[in-house]
Amino acid sequence: MKKILLSFFVLAGFNSVFAQQDPQLTHFFRNKLNYNPAYAGTNDDKICASLAYRTQWLGFGSKTLGLTPETFIGGIHGSVLGNKLGLGLNINSDRQGFETTLMPTFSVAYHHVFSNNHKLSGGVGVGLIQKSLDGGKLKAKDPGDALIPNSLVNGNSIDFNFGLYYKMPSLSVFRDVYFGLSSTHLNAAEVNYGPVKYTAARHYYFMAGGIYDMGNFTIEPNLFLKNAVKTSFDINVMSTINGKYLGGLTYRNVDAIAILAGMNIGSSSNNEEATSVMLSYDLTTSRLSEFSNGTFEVGIRHCFGFKIERTPPPIRPIYTPRFL
């Protein structure tokens, strides 16, 4: 049964694919640049870098049948021109079975601050989708099948994203409130690698969240709506104790309940800018729980200030005709 299921995931890329294709992250609220280019540079006067690793459905796979889905994500972003412009780079590497996907994306965002300190950001992302499949490790039911490659094949295509991001200092009892609306793969890029044709379906995302203070204890709810072919959602609630210790729960209506824990290193009243380490474990609730030991994810983020000190010009004497 495992072999049948894994073969389905490996061969799902054959012919044309229209489904949820972007890697799923439990720490979505800590990796917003991965989904929304408008997020680039939203932390004023800060450069923020992050790394995340996710291994999905532990115990589901082997070296002969193909490894379980794994995702590596690295991102860095900051602002320039007096925080008017944001720049970001996000690199997404995903592997499932014998297929790998690499998606580097460069994002540019423009930020407009209103008189009430609300900020509206609009951003575009330009990237590359690179796919490869080690066909030499596949075992075709019908040897010589022209639709199944028998060697390493690869291909790539240009990819475009767009997003809007809105921040406000407070809303009702919440502070640091945000809303994000974005779409990835706007051009529905096609990647041909060997006999395989991959079509990137347009994905639509909506994010929202905020922080509620209760003395030394905070509650941070986050909502993530996703739509490719069908709509799914994640509801997350994080808590922070003394601005340092993190804990939370996530419910994903499709397949999981996740437990999260972490720590802020140093002090920061804003979890968006705190240097932090976070771990999570997803308990699979779909039928895959019969074959999977759950999903593990770890992430780290570091934000730091960046300021260029200008050296004052040297003082030179000026001579005038009056004192010659």
pLDDT at 318 over 50: yes
Q: When comparing pLDDT for 69 and 257, which is higher?
A: 257
Q: How many domains does the chain divide into?
A: 1
Average pLDDT over residues 132-160: 86
Query: In CATH, what number is assigned to the domain containing residue 226?
Result: 2.40.160.40
Let me know if residue 20 belongs to a domain: no
Q: Is residue 221 part of a domain?
A: yes
- Assess if residue 276 is contained within a domain: yes
Domain annotation covers residue 219: yes
CB atoms within 10 A of CB 192: 15
Query: Model confidence over 192-240: pLDDT tens digits?
Result: 998 989 999 999 999 999 999 998 999 999 999 999 878 999 999 999 9
Residue 79 lies inside a defined structural domain of this protein? yes
Q: What is the pLDDT of residue 91?
A: 97
Residue 77: name the closest of 125, 129, 27, 22 by CA: 125
Under the banding of pLDDT at 50, 70 and 90, the label for residue 310 is low
Give CA–CA dist 262/315, Å, rounded. 53
Question: Which has more pLDDT, 269 or 105?
Answer: 105
Q: Is 264 exposed, middle or buried (0-12, 13-18, 19+ CB in 10 A)?
A: buried
Token duo for residue 18: 């229209």
- Domain assignment present for 277: yes
Predicted pLDDT of residue 22: 87
Query: Looking at the domain assignment, is residue 239 inside a domain?
Result: yes
Domain that holds residue 205: 2-12+27-306
Q: What is the pTM of this model?
A: 0.85
In this structure, is residue 157 part of a structural domain?
A: yes
Q: What integer is the mean pLDDT of 117-127?
A: 97
Q: What is the pLDDT of residue 57?
A: 78
